[in-house]
A and B are shown apart, each in its own frame.
Chain A
Amino acid sequence: MPETAVPSAVDELKFRDPAKARALAAALGKVTREVGHAPVSVMHVCGSHEQAIAKFGLRTILPKGLNVIMGPGCPVCVTDLPEVDEAVVLAQDGKIIASYGDMLKVPGTAQSLADAQALGGRIEVVYSAAQAVELARDTTDDVVFFASGFETTAVATAAVALGDVPPNFSILSAHKYIPPVMEIVAEMPDSRVEGFLAAGHAAAITGWKIFERFVEKHRVPVVVAGFEPLDILAGLVKLIELVRDGTPRVENMFPRCVTPDGNRNAQRQLWRVFRTQGGRWRGIAHVPNGNLRLRDEFAHLDARSRYPIDLRRLWTHAPSALTQVCICGEIMAGLNAPENCPLFGKECVPESPVGACMVSSEGTCKIWYQYGGHPEL
């Protein structure tokens, strides 16, 4: 048995059984009432959780007294302006930028990568770090992989960095590390979060024990959950039970993929290539240790070391005034909902996003725009 099993799509279908889902929803309603106050607020910190909640219509069956807040779980959304700007400048300088598709429309100070592309920049959408390397092999031009995502995708970037790459390949890391931002959210003065639903795929890498210190420090429960409807509902039932009982601890409700210690091999690769560094997450705050950057010994692969990147040339234009109205930050911190943003669905739509939350398929606003949040359907 490998350290992390990857279940097939067909295997997952049994985790979508409607009758079982309804039974779990009923159990969730009961345990939520037993907590004794309303609403009970918990937070997930993963865009994939919100995606699944929305895709399967779970919000229409969640109990009224339960508030499932979407946290800063979208790596694309929290990518900060200067990181987008760096990629835009490199594209302007003639480098081929290989990027995950979601990053293309994320607004920078003056331009998004999609805008840079419309103005002649060479932007290639890739589906994996390995594909970016292939792209570099097929050309003599410089290819910069704009590496984004949490520790899950950072592992794939690390594997590439440790392998054999052509000399024209480099990495611009915008990778983010989730555990530190949970600290930030838990410590926010307005935080109403009584428990966290942790992302199963990230925990498959880190192991669930990584959350023990967090629970000890903040005295709120953490439940690791998978991404199928039954995984999420069962995870929520367990989490609310822990809230009800006042017994903060870590529970692993995704044991088919997550072990106490995680995938050690992947962790070794990750930390051999990356180190953590403090940095701003868009709309959230400065997150100590929240960014993953290449270690010095990988400077030869680091686009930031290899190329002069002068961001000042983008600063001739003020960013759009609309961005000042955008409440993405509050939404990602779980303090507000998209429907309360004056731009939502009007000036800010997926075709022309103002804030990053409207860009990514894991962004809260985009998901609410697409799937309708939780209207009475």
Chain B
Amino acid sequence: MSTVLRSPGETIREEVVTLKHGAGGQAMRRLIADILAQGFAPGPPDGIGLAAMDDGAAIRVGERWLVVTTDSHVVHPVFFPGGDIGRLAVAGTVNDLAMMGATTPLALTCAVIVEEGFRRADLERIHRSMQETCDEAGATVVAGDTKVMGRGELDGIVINTTGIALADAIVPDAGLRPGDRVIVTGTIGDHGMALMAKRHVLALEGELRSDVAPLNRLIAAALAAAPGLVSAMKDPTRGGVASALHEMAEKSRVGVVLQEPALPVSSVVRSAAEMLGLDPLHIANEGKALLGVRPDAAGRVLAALRAQPLGRDAAVVGECIVEHAGRVILDTGIGRRLVSEVEGEPLPRIC
């Protein structure tokens, strides 16, 4: 009897990094925990460092917190309905700061790597878009770096942005408590679905638009409505609401019950998801946030969100429970089931 425990396929799967490691799910979190977050000296005491694997880091500076976050952006296509890589690069980092409770960005840096042959006019268009998005967010770029690589050495353009901001209080993604309500700030799945439609030339393309937007002002309004009562925040980007909630539930050691009928999904995203056999919970957003809110503050936070243009479709979609810690349960209105995380990317990268 053969004692071969592994086929060559299994070895391949373990020895190289594959696209699934970038899909925002468990595989990615494990890769980061196993390799990338290992071996650095611990961060500053009582702050939030790499080990927390939060949206960014928080370092205490006197009575306040300095929040730092960084994000590299690749997207195909570079220009898509509702936005482009420039808007994505600014909004993505501004939002990561905001998700830590830092809603007034002090400064951003921007590093651009461009493939030889990239159209100059496109670069100008991306740059304009970054400027406009900065204006919208009240942010600015203070330092940058530019590299050009040979044709074929990367796909068009990669933009990295790093952001810093000061905050009076930090909102971690691990702060959910039983009883907390879960609020989503608007319709889900718009960004990922718009990109898929564009790539696969779906008939619905005209109506689908990415939601990419800086959320810091919206989040500032929510935090101001109930100081200290927003317990956790996360933006459901890659992996969608499902991955973001899993991560929050795992880190907070609570179960989350989502009410499917309460989830805001635009009719065009719903149709496209049905057509492609996808779950809107798995689809990326770039202009939405998930908030955990103490039960008695949920009404106030919801009202504050809905008063803002970016939050007009906000809804209470779920509740945290003691049981089923680390799991996300969906009440479909008919029965209940577990919500899965995406495990790898069936389609090309979307953010």
Give A residues with C-beta under 8 Å from B: 8-10, 12, 16, 18, 21-22, 54-61, 101, 107-112, 114-115, 118-119, 125, 127, 229, 317-322, 349-352, 361, 369-372, 375, 377
Closest 8 CB pairs of A and B: A57-B335, A372-B338, A370-B340, A18-B333, A377-B336, A57-B337, A60-B335, A9-B274
The residues of B that contact A118 with a CB separation of less than 8 Å are: 12-13, 16, 18
Query: Closest A-chain residue to B13, C-beta based?
Result: A352
Least CB separation from B267: chain A residue? A10
Contacting residues, chain A, for B343 (C-beta < 8 A):
349-351
**B270 contacts A9, CB within 8 Å?**
yes
The chain A residue with its CB closest to the CB of B14 is: A352
Q: With the chains together, A119 CA to B347 CA distance in Å? A: 19
Residues of B near A349 (CB, < 8 A) are: 343
Question: Most chain-B CB neighbours within 10 Å: which of A55, A60, A114, A377?
Answer: A377
Name the CB-closest residue of B to A371.
B337
Complex interface: chain A residues within 8 A of B270 (CB)? 9
Q: Is there contact, CB below 8 Å, between B5 and A321?
A: yes
Docked CA distance A321–B6 (Å): 7
Bound-state Cα–Cα, A361 to B334, Å: 22
A321 to B4, CA, bound (A): 6
* A321 pairs with B335, CB closer than 8 A: no
Among the interface residues B279, B337, B338, which one has the most CB atoms of the partner chain A within 10 A? B337
B1-39: contact bitstring with A at CB < 8 Å (1 yes, 0 no)?
A: 011111111101100101010000011000000000000
In the bound complex, do residue A321 and residue B3 qualify as a contact, i.e. CB atoms below 8 Å apart?
yes
User: B201-216 vs A: 1/0 string, CB under 8 Å?
Assistant: 0000000000000000
What residues of A have a CB within 8 angstroms of the CB of B331 in the complex? 57
Contact of A54 with B16 in the complex, beta carbons under 8 Å: no
Which residue, of B8, B26, B277, B330, has the highest number of chain A Cβ atoms within 10 A?
B8
A54-B4 in contact (CB<8A): no
A residues near B279, Cβ cutoff 8 Å = 55
Contact status A377-B337, CB under 8 Å: yes
| Nearest Cβ on chain B to A39's Cβ, whole angstroms | 19
B residues 243-282 touching A (CB-CB < 8 Å): 261, 267, 270-271, 274-275, 277, 279
The interface residues of chain A lying within 8 Å CB-to-CB of B267 are 10
Which of A22, A61, A112, A377 sits near B338, CB closer than 8 Å? A377
On whether the beta carbons of A110 and B16 are closer than 8 Å, the reply is no
The distance in angstroms between the C-alpha atoms of A369 and B26, with both chains bound, is 14
Contacts of A57 in B (CB 8 A): 330-332, 334-337
Chain A residues near B333 (CB, 8 Å)?
16, 18, 21
Question: Given A115-B13, A372-B338, A377-B324, is A107 in contact with B332 using a C-beta cutoff of 8 Å?
Answer: no
Does B346 interact with chain A (Cβ within 8 Å)?
yes
Is B83's beta carbon under 8 Å from chain A? no
Give the distance in Å from the alpha carbon of A61 to the alpha carbon of B236 in the complex: 30
Contact call B344/A351, Cβ cutoff below 8 A: yes
List A contacts of B6 (CB < 8 A).
Answer: 320
Q: In the complex the two chains form, is B334's CB within 8 Å of A58's CB?
A: yes
B200 close to chain A: CB less than 8 A: yes
Whether A18 contacts B7 by the Cβ 8 Å rule is no
> Can you add 5 more A-B contacts, CB < 8 Å, to A18-B261, A127-B200?
A18-B332, A317-B4, A350-B343, A351-B20, A361-B277
Inter-chain contacts of A114 with B (CB < 8 A): 13, 18
User: For the complex, what is the distance from the CA of A349 to the CA of B343, rounded to whole Å?
Assistant: 10
Contacts of A110 in B (CB 8 A): 7-9
Q: Does B166 contact A (CB under 8 A)?
A: no
Instruction: Give the Cβ gap from A77 to chain B, nearest Cβ, in Å.
Output: 16
| A10-B267, A54-B337 known; A352-B277 Cβ under 8 A | no
* A111–B347 CA distance with the chains assembled, in angstroms: 21
With a cutoff of 8 Å between Cβ atoms, the chain B residues found around residue A369 in the complex are 340
Contact partner, A10, options B271, B324, B332, Cβ 8 Å: B271
In the complex, the answer to whether A321 meets B2 with C-beta atoms within 8 Å is yes
Q: With the chains together, A58 CA to B3 CA distance in Å? A: 42
Chain B residues 275-293 with CB under 8 Å of chain A are: 275, 277, 279
Residues A107 and B9 in contact in the complex (CB < 8 Å), given A55-B337, A127-B200, A370-B338: yes
Q: Least Cβ distance of A277 to chain B in Å?
A: 28
A112-B277 Cα distance, complex, nearest whole Å: 23
B338 near A115: Cβ-Cβ < 8 Å:
no
Please report the C-alpha to C-alpha distance between residue A325 and residue B274 in the assembled complex, in whole angstroms. Answer: 36
**Contact B338 A375, beta carbon cutoff 8 Å:** yes
A sample of 21 inter-chain contacts (CB < 8 A) reads A9-B270, A10-B267, A10-B271, A56-B334, A57-B331, A57-B334, A61-B335, A108-B9, A110-B8, A110-B9, A111-B7, A114-B13, A114-B18, A118-B18, A318-B2, A320-B7, A351-B343, A352-B13, A369-B340, A370-B338, A370-B340
Candidate in B4, B26, B324, B336 with the most chain A CB atoms within 10 angstroms: B336
Query: How far in angstroms is the closest Cβ of chain B from A309?
Result: 19
Asked if B314 lies at the interface with its beta carbon under 8 angstroms from chain A, I say no
Closest to A361 in B: B277
Decide if B316 is an interface residue (CB 8 Å cutoff).
no
Residues of A with C-beta under 8 A to B344: 350-351
Minimum Cβ distance to chain A for residue B336 (Å): 4
* B329 on the A face (CB < 8 A): yes
CB pair A22 B12 closer than 8 Å: no
Complex CA–CA separation, A58 to B6 (angstroms): 37
Name the distance in Å between A269's Cβ and chain B's nearest Cβ. 23
> Which chain B positions have C-beta within 8 A of A22?
334
C-alpha gap A125/B199 in the complex (Å): 13
**Cα(A57)–Cα(B259), bound, Å:** 12
Smallest beta-carbon distance A207→chain B, Å: 25
A371 proximity list for chain B (CB < 8 A): 337-338, 340
Residue of B nearest to A22 (CB): B334
Query: Taking the nearest CB of chain B, how far is it from the CB of A111, in angstroms?
Result: 5
Q: In the assembled complex, how far is the CB of residue A373 from the closest CB belonging to chain B, in whole angstroms?
A: 9
**Which residues of B sit under 8 angstroms from A60, Cβ to Cβ?**
335-337
- Contact partner of B27 (CB less than 8 A), chosen from A9, A10, A351, A372, is A351
User: Which residues from chain A contact B274 at a C-beta distance below 8 Å?
Assistant: 9, 12
A314 CB, min distance to chain B CBs, angstroms: 9
Judging by beta carbons under 8 Å apart, are A61 and B334 in contact? yes
Nearest A residue to B333, CB-CB: A18
Decide if B335 touches A59 in the complex (CB within 8 Å): yes
